[in-house]
């Protein structure tokens, strides 16, 4: 696979965002995108197999069951761009369905180099596929994919796994609008969304018995230690999952077990934590089925079909650019 990578000053950006998030007045926070270094991505892969966390399996079930239906609806020559492909495992069904119909170009867009490598290993045996990976942020990668489009070719964008839920609602609609601006009328977006469920189910899913989600969350502090020379004592922070009824999300936090100060060398800062104070690390918003039609409309799409999993309420939504 050809991988387009660009040198970035990622280390500098990470330090700046950590400093800004931990020194802001009020709720301290760290951006959830930093949960996914190699260790975090591997832990997320384990989460996707946990009995308590049905989201990824629901996504996969829908893609397996409806991939032919999706491929029939997005007819004609098509290039497929996937934003945040991960290992590519769940995309296989869909790509096989498209490749049974015609030769298909697949462009995974990922900030993680190792995920792109895994993705190619997982999918390159499919007949009639060509894979070109973009090691980029989502919208930068999509812009480049759009520049590769051949005349008469449709673009299908995949944004699966309810990653949209990790944006707050206004930012989610803004992101969909930004995607829409890069597309042409008639192009499509397959959007995976996790549907609202009980607080009990959500707390179980985001605070599993084995402690894998806790490790996934705590790894963010371990990463700051590794990459920014910080001295977080991981045993002095606890994983916390909490429901935010107002915005219909489940939040992950890291709670300081005592009053303590942490030095972060590359960010040139010492941060003080009170006992019980938390760092907010992620929100996963959950959606009502009808709401997705409204979000689509607000972003310049029309929601043509919605496929819903019965075992774990989750929807695959096919949006068409208007
Ligand atoms: C990637 N994302 C959709 C997951 C979610 O459910 O919000 C990340 C995750 N966080 C904790 N468990 C899984």
Q: Give the pLDDT of residue 115.
A: 84
Q: How confident is the model at residue 1 (pLDDT cuts 50, 70, 90)?
A: low
Q: Which atom of ligand 1 is nearest to the CA of 283?
A: 7
Q: Residues 65-72: what's their mean pLDDT?
A: 98
Of all protein residues, the one whose alpha carbon is nearest to atom 10 of ligand 1 is: 206
Ligand 1 and 108: CB distance under 6 A? no
pLDDT in tens, 70-126: 999 998 899 999 999 877 888 999 999 999 999 999 999 988 888 888 898 899 999
What is the arithmetic mean of pLDDT over 202-222? 98
Beta bridge partners of 260: 273
pTM: 0.95
For residues 258-286, average pLDDT: 98
CB of residue 183 inside a 6 A radius of ligand 1:
no
Report pLDDT for 284: 98
pLDDT tens-digit series, residues 238-255: 999 999 999 999 999 999
* Residue 161 CA, ligand 1 centroid: distance in Å: 8
**CB 317 near ligand 1, within 6 Å:** no
Taking residues 144-162, what's their average pLDDT?
95
215-218 CB contacts, 8 Å cutoff, 24+ apart: 215/43, 216/35, 216/40, 216/43, 216/44, 216/47, 217/35, 217/252, 217/254, 217/281, 217/282, 218/254
CB 61 within 8 A of CB 311: yes
Ligand 1 centroid to Cα of residue 243, in Å, is 14
Residue of 110, 115, 194, 284 to mutate, ligand 1, most atoms within 8 A of C-beta: 284
Check if 283 has its Cβ closer than 6 Å to any atom of ligand 1: no
- Nearest CA residue ID for atom 2, ligand 1: 163
> Is residue 169 predicted with pLDDT exceeding 70?
yes
The tens digit of pLDDT for each residue in 13-42 reads: 999 999 999 999 999 999 999 999 989 989
* pLDDT attached to residue 116: 87
Atom of ligand 1 nearest to the CA of 44: 13
């Amino acid at each position: 696979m050809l991988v387009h990578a660009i040198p970035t000053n990622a280390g500098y950006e990470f330090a700046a965002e950590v400093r800004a998030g931990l020194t802001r007045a009020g709720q301290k926070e760290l951006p959830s995108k930093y949960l996914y270094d190699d260790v975090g991505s591997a832990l997320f892969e384990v989460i996707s197999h946990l009995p308590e966390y049905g989201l990824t399996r629901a996504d996969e079930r829908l893609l397996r069951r409806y991939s032919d239906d999706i491929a029939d609806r997005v007819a004609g020559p098509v290039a497929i761009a996937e934003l945040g492909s991960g290992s590519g495992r769940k995309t296989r069904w869909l790509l096989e369905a498209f490749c049974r119909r015609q030769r298909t170009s697949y462009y995974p867009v990922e900030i993680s180099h190792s995920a792109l490598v895994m993705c190619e290993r997982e999918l390159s045996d499919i007949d009639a596929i060509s894979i070109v990976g973009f090691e980029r942020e989502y919208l930068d990668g999509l812009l480049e994919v759009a520049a590769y489009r051949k005349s008469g070719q449709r673009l299908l964008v995949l944004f699966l796994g309810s990653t949209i839920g990790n944006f707050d609602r206004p930012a989610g609609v803004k992101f969909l609008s930004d995607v829409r601006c890069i597309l042409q009328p008639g192009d499509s977006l397959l959007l995976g969304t996790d549907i609202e469920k009980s607080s009990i189910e959500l707390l179980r899913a985001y605070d599993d018995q084995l402690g894998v989600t806790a490790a996934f969350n705590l790894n963010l502090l371990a990463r700051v230690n590794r990459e920014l020379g910080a001295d977080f004592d991981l045993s002095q922070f606890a994983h916390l999952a909490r429901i935010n009824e107002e915005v219909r999300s489940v939040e992950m936090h890291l709670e300081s077990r005592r009053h303590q100060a942490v030095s972060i060398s590359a960010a040139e800062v010492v941060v003080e934590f009170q006992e019980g104070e938390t760092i907010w690390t992620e929100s996963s918003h959950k959606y009502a089925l009808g709401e997705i039609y409204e979000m689509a409309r607000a972003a310049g799409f029309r929601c043509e079909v919605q496929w819903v999993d019965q075992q774990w309420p989750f929807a695959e939504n096919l949006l068409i650019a208007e």
